[in-house]
Chains A and B, each alone.
Chain A
Amino acid sequence: MNESASSRSRILKRLHGIHSQSRFADHPEITEPQSPSWTTEEKISRLKSMMESVHSEIHCCSERDFDTVFRKVADEKSIASLLYAKNTQLGSRIHSLKQSTPEKMPELVNYDVTIETMKKRIFSIDASITETLGGIAETGSLILWPSRDEPRLMSLIPPIHLAVLQAEKIYNTFSEAIDEGRWAEKGMPTNALLISGPSKTADIEQTLVYGVHGPKQLVVFIIQ
């Protein structure tokens, strides 16, 4: 038996050895929290104000207006290169946008090779754009489940992260998102994230500074 295995059995033996009556002694009833139930409009406005309070930029637009709003943001922020995922619905839309109006669009970089191959490159890209699985109104959070098509680092390395959120996928609470999305039943992806703003720190004399390690800006397009 190796050392880890013998540690394991000693630790578990000690824990199991506790008289079960003492272990299972009346732990208190856990009450269900009162969950808010907002309308879609209320959820949008809650999420928007929560996220804006931590320096996120929110654009509400219709499905049709997205192209215009997106191009405007890309232009204003002088995004010269954009990391995207071509195989997603969003990715193919961005791709056709580039084809139809190449001069108004940044250079597109598709994340289609392993990180080892594109490590150097990815650190020099201006921005990224990703889909989201949903949002959480209560805390002002985006839910991301990175995948083969849309890998984990897209929302971390480029200094500007653009995220697209469908308004009807905003949940009231984190708990509701787990329940309704049947996370436990479906099984978790290798990585799941709640993102609630651009990267920040207050480690120097409690001064809040945005953009420490991750993105300096987070832009959310809420599609109504």
Chain B
Amino acid sequence: MSAKANHSPHRLSEKAFFESSGSALKDPKLRRNFKRAMNGLMEKRRDIFPDASELEETRGRAGGIRRKTLAYFPELLEKLEANCESNGIRVHWAETTEQANQIVLEIARSTNTRLAVKGKSMVSEEMHLNAFLEKHDIEAIESDLGEYIIQVVNELPSHIIMPAIHKNLEEISQLFQEKVDPNRSSESAEEMTATARLILRQKFHDADMGISGVNFAVAETGTLCLVENEGNGRFSTTLPKVHVAVMGIEKVVESLQDLPPLLKMLTRSATGQPITTYFNMISGPRREGELDGPEEVHLVLLDHGRSKIYEDELLRETLLCIRCGACMNHCPVYTRIGGHAYNAVYPGPIGKILTPQIEGIESVGYLANASSLCGACVEVCPVKIPITDILLRLRRNRVRKKNARHWTDLNGGKSLMELMTWKGWKQVLSQPSLYRTQASLLSRIGNLLPAQIPVLRQWARSRSLPRFSKKPLHRLVEEAGIDHE
């Protein structure tokens, strides 16, 4: 099996998004898979939060803890670093994903690592770490079952919690037959899980290095916390002689007492579980006299644009995220197009606010437009990130950026047309008499507008065109003699 990931990380363009979302919408199997999975996740979350006022209180608390953390962000990072170091965890800092990859590679080289087993980590996806290590002849095996499945077929995760959610049993069964082990029966989830257990236990046994993410890093004690159900995270961080944890800098929290409310909100919001099977708290490598545990533990703190995001008071709230995935489970867009359509590491609402901020508003700002602003994500976010407000801000920033440059730079005439549209709109709607003349005109001829006008044609694919009233309201009001002042 090969771990190569030949996906270009830079398929991020509006055109590519239209193509990929368009083909996702035309794929009935994919849509069925997502619908079923997301319905299940929404139901589980609903069931575990039966009391609305208690939920509000807990969201307030979890959000409060994350906000407090960000208020003391640099101080807490320094404290985390100091306490990790005094626990024997070696701390590395990276501004870019390239630097982070390089750090992991150097550790791998200094420890003669040939095989690394990985626990699930979205930051390592940000880094495209597997492909990087592969290029340097280091095999990196994903050990979370979902991640393992998609690695086998060389795909990217389609969901941040459930990476293989886009595939149904039949598809996974087929790939186990073809690519994992043709000699073992792969009909049921149980059989395939058993096969993966067998293969991956051997990998855990053989691996020189374990790579993991971090869910929370406690500054006061220098403790790295991992949340998981399978035990692969524990294997990756316990059995190999080297453990490298990669972490986005925003994952720091102040104290151990911050953990219970955050853990509670994370597992409940993500999968509707009161708690996961394992909550793994790592505060150092094997100590003198201990019989197991890694001999070296490294923590790679990755910035990748986060300190820039931190500069703005509203945009900063993006960094509150604890990566539960509830926003995507409840998003009417995500649940229809699925995670791959975004062509980005983080799909769904959190991806729409995070990706443009990391990759650049000019090139990826279109993602912020791909939302109906319905606010379902805001309603379920366990730390109350004002996602729709951030989307609005990003849209505005994008327009500002374009105003400052040239409207025809991007997307050819399309952007220019958008600018002209809003300029015209403003001209009409800010002048009462002009507006009334236009409105009356529309009520007379609006219904005769040819459906071939591009905007109308698109709309008309799935909907009949709206019909204008015979007389606009302001005329009816005049005729009825309604007071005007």
Most buried by B among A27, A119, A153: A27
Q: How far is the CA of A5 from the CA of B92 in the complex (A)?
A: 8
Measured in the bound complex, the distance between the Cα atoms of B221 and A206 in whole Å is: 36
Closest CB in chain A relative to B363 CB, distance in Å: 22
Contact A204 B192, CB 8 Å, known A139-B274, A188-B281, A191-B281: yes
Most buried by A among B103, B144, B256: B256
A123 near B260: Cβ-Cβ < 8 Å = no
Contacts of A203 on B, CB cut-off 8 Å? 144-146, 149, 162-164
| B16 to A: closest C-beta gap in Å | 27
Q: How far is the CA of A120 from the CA of B204 in the complex (A)?
A: 12
**Complex interface: chain A residues within 8 A of B235 (CB):** 156, 213-214
Can you name the residue of chain B whose Cβ is closest to the Cβ of A25? B313
Tell me the nearest residue of chain B to A35, going by C-beta.
Answer: B260
A28 touches B67 (CB 8 A): yes
Q: A33-B261, A139-B274, A153-B238 are in contact. Are A18 and B196 (CB under 8 A)?
A: no
A7-B93, A18-B311, A201-B145 in contact; A209/B278 too (CB < 8 A)?
no
What residues of chain B lie closer than 8 Å to A25, measured between beta carbons? 71, 313
A33 adjacent to B61 (CB under 8 Å): yes
Interface residue stretch chosen among A59-67, A69-77, A106-114 = A106-114
Q: Give the interface centre of A7, A16, A27, A190 by most chain B CB atoms within 10 Å.
A: A190
A162 to B99, CA, bound (A): 44
Q: For B204, give the chain A residue with the smallest CB separation.
A: A213
Within 8 A of A (CB), among B79-112: 81, 87, 92-95, 99, 102-103
Is A30 within 8 A of B68, CB to CB?
yes
Residue of A nearest to B188 (CB): A207
A97 within 8 A of B: no
Interfacial residues of chain B within 199-257, with CB under 8 A of chain A in the complex: 200-201, 204-205, 220-223, 229-232, 234-235, 238-239, 241, 249, 255-257
Contact (Cβ within 8 A) B291 A111: yes
Report if A205-B169 is in contact (Cβ < 8 Å); known contacts: A33-B61, A188-B283, A191-B238.
yes
Q: How far is the CA of A127 from the CA of B53 in the complex (A)?
A: 44
Cβ-based interface call for B30 (8 A): no
Residues of chain A having any CB pair with chain B under 8 Å: 3-5, 7-8, 10-12, 14-16, 18, 22-25, 27-31, 33, 50, 54, 111-116, 119-120, 123, 138-141, 147-148, 151-153, 156, 173-175, 178-179, 183-184, 187-207, 209, 211-215
Extra inter-chain contacts (12) besides given A4-B99, A213-B230, A213-B231, CB under 8 Å: A5-B93, A10-B95, A33-B61, A153-B239, A174-B263, A192-B223, A196-B279, A200-B229, A200-B277, A203-B164, A209-B189, A213-B201
Q: Residues of B at under 8 Å CB distance from A?
A: 33, 36-37, 40-41, 57-58, 60-61, 63-65, 67-68, 70-74, 77-78, 81, 87, 92-95, 99, 102-103, 143-146, 149, 162-165, 167-169, 172, 189-190, 192-193, 196-197, 200-201, 204-205, 220-223, 229-232, 234-235, 238-239, 241, 249, 255-257, 259-261, 263-264, 271, 274-287, 289-293, 301, 303, 307-308, 310-311, 313
